[in-house]
Amino acid sequence: MTAIPDFVDSQSVCPDDAAALLPVDPFNALRISFGMLLGVDDFETEQAYHRGKMRLHNSWLHGHGVVWGLGVSSDLPSGEIRVERGLALDAAGHELHLDAQACVSTGAWFDAHRNDPGMNVTGPADGSSVTFDAHVVMRFRACQTRQVPALSDPCDGAQTSTAYSRVFETVELHLVPGLDPDPGATPAPRPYHRLRLLFGLDAATTGSADDLAIVAERADIEKLPGGEQPTAYLSALRRYAARDSADLQPLTEVDTGSVLLFPSVDTAPVVIATATGITLNKQANGGWQLAAATVSLDTRRTLIDTSTIQELLCGPALVTPGPAQPPVNGPTVLPDSVTMQGRTISLAFSTAVLPASVTTSAFTVTVLGPAGWRPIRVDQADIVDATNTSVKLTLHSTPSGDVLKLVVSGTATPILDASNNPLGGPPGFDFVHMIALSGGS
């Protein structure tokens, strides 16, 4: 039995019955004692505990995606898009099981949905053919089945009625106009943004000092020798995972304000395919003939089993030592030496620098704020030790904003060593360092 609006199969279609959903309560278990009188509420509590535990595990530790099957294809002679049997998880932790092949007539579907939001149809003005895109989604659905005799009143042993004795967990499939607006995303923004940013999977948020600091740390890690990078990445992963997990919260329903147990609502869809270039030709009898459709599974999310993930980790190392770098004939800035306090920035060089080259024009300071980047004048640049390796900069004003960028010149007005080698070695390289600021401007 499979409930599949839009799509049909060879099985019967159950009615839409929201009351069929069984309760979910993963933190309240039934405790049974000898001689205890058990009622409906007790059996529901027993069911709710185990169902809740499984859904918590699925939603928070696996996320949503296809587990197996659910192949999607187009059949031009029949004019259908077909979905094969399979299994998926949705963002609310439901197991979505399609137990038989399902199909939708593209012509009949187009007639019913041609005015739906998101439908963008192209084709000749005479209407002889139409072309559009769509995507296939799957949702959880529950049906009550198997009616049996039941007492109509618990205090009346004479009158009987019937009640459903089973709940069948199934799915509904829909063809939705347009393409998935955010392929691979959860119904809410993707979790673990800091970790995704650390490993280059997300882009930094404009104006976010936190994001810019993570990007800067990733750049620093990439500069380390290959053998030191895994330990540095592990340290960063632990820190950012802790902060990301602290941000995760169950969904709050907008209408009721109630906090759910899961990161999404019960009806959260799972996108299983896209169909582009669906072209229908008008027939003499008024119907449509499917002339073309390109079905792709590339943008859907897939859940990979843990044993396969273990084996994938034995593949080529993700971090490999880079080519040996030639020695630098010139001073370099030691990144860990750069500190800032008030209007003062301190930094140190790897070797002695030529005092005459340490001028305010060799240093550029800019600050990012709501209005964009703005410069801050460097009033003084002083060597503060006898070895000519430590420098103190005095800024014209105390920086305020999201992030500060310090550039030490090795090109235009370069810092030089005693042999006139520029910063970073010939032909000279600028040193750029980002400092996250504590408050907005």
pLDDT for residue 257: 80
Contact by Cβ (8 Å): 325, 304: no
> Are residues 38 and 136 located together in one domain of the fold?
yes
Q: Classify 439 in phi/psi space as left (phi over 0), alpha (psi -120 to 50) or beta.
A: beta
Q: What are phi and psi of 208, to 5 degrees?
A: -90, 115
Q: Which of 97, 48, 45, 88 is nearest to 261 (CA)?
A: 48
Q: Which domain holds residue 367?
A: 335-436
In a domain, 3, yes or no: no
In a domain, 242, yes or no: yes
> Are residues 268 and 414 located together in one domain of the fold?
no
Per-residue pLDDT at 87 exceeds 80: yes
In a domain, 417, yes or no: yes
In a domain, 326, yes or no: no
Confidence of residue 59 (pLDDT cuts 50, 70, 90): very high
Taking the C-alpha atoms of residue 187 and residue 198, their distance in angstroms, rounded to an integer, is 23
Query: Mind giving me the DSSP string for 346-370?
Result: EEEBSS---GGG--GGGEEEEEEET
Residues 351-370 have a mean pLDDT of: 94
Per-residue pLDDT at 302 exceeds 60: yes
Taking the C-alpha atoms of residue 378 and residue 347, their distance in angstroms, rounded to an integer, is 14
Q: Classify 79 in phi/psi space as left (phi over 0), alpha (psi -120 to 50) or beta.
A: left
> Are residues 216 and 72 located together in one domain of the fold?
no
> Are residues 54 and 102 located together in one domain of the fold?
yes
> Are residues 160 and 278 located together in one domain of the fold?
yes
pLDDT for residue 441: 40
- The pTM is what? 0.67
Q: What is the CATH number of the domain that holds 346?
A: 2.60.40.1220
Confidence of residue 19 (pLDDT cuts 50, 70, 90): low
> Are residues 339 and 382 located together in one domain of the fold?
yes
Strongest mean pLDDT among 8-12, 200-204, 343-347:
343-347
Confidence of residue 155 (pLDDT cuts 50, 70, 90): low
In a domain, 1, yes or no: no
Residues 95-113 have a mean pLDDT of: 94
Q: Classify 56 in phi/psi space as left (phi over 0), alpha (psi -120 to 50) or beta.
A: alpha
Per-residue pLDDT at 321 exceeds 60: no
Distances (CA, A) of 78 to 87, 190, 292, 296: 25, 39, 12, 19
DSSP-derived secondary structure letter, 54 = H
> Are residues 156 and 211 located together in one domain of the fold?
no
pLDDT for residue 318: 56
Per-residue pLDDT at 110 exceeds 70: yes
Confidence of residue 12 (pLDDT cuts 50, 70, 90): very low
Taking the C-alpha atoms of residue 324 and residue 128, their distance in angstroms, rounded to an integer, is 65
Structure tokens belonging to residue 303 = 């859940």
> Are residues 111 and 224 located together in one domain of the fold?
no
Mean pLDDT of the chain: 87
pLDDT for residue 3: 47
> Are residues 141 and 269 located together in one domain of the fold?
yes
In a domain, 356, yes or no: yes
In a domain, 301, yes or no: yes
In sequence order, what E strands does 60-127 have? 65-69, 72-75, 80-83, 86-89, 95-98, 102-105
For residues 222, 223, 227, 232, the Cα torsion angle rounded to the nearest 10 degrees is -60
> Are residues 242 and 378 located together in one domain of the fold?
no
pLDDT greater at residue 339 or residue 155? 339
Residues 101-114 have a mean pLDDT of: 94
Residues 242-269 have a mean pLDDT of: 88
Residues 85-107 have a mean pLDDT of: 95
Confidence of residue 68 (pLDDT cuts 50, 70, 90): very high
Domain count, the chain: 3
Residues 182-196 have a mean pLDDT of: 70
> Are residues 42 and 159 located together in one domain of the fold?
yes
Contact by Cβ (8 Å): 288, 282: yes
pLDDT for residue 325: 57
Residues 314-343 have a mean pLDDT of: 77
Taking the C-alpha atoms of residue 276 and residue 291, their distance in angstroms, rounded to an integer, is 12
In a domain, 92, yes or no: yes
In sequence order, what E strands does 100-155 have? 102-105, 129-153
Strongest mean pLDDT among 163-167, 178-182, 365-369:
365-369
Taking the C-alpha atoms of residue 205 and residue 211, their distance in angstroms, rounded to an integer, is 6
Q: What is the pLDDT of residues 37-48, one digit of tens each?
A: 998 888 888 989
> Are residues 197 and 178 located together in one domain of the fold?
no
- Written as one letter, the residue type at 328 is V
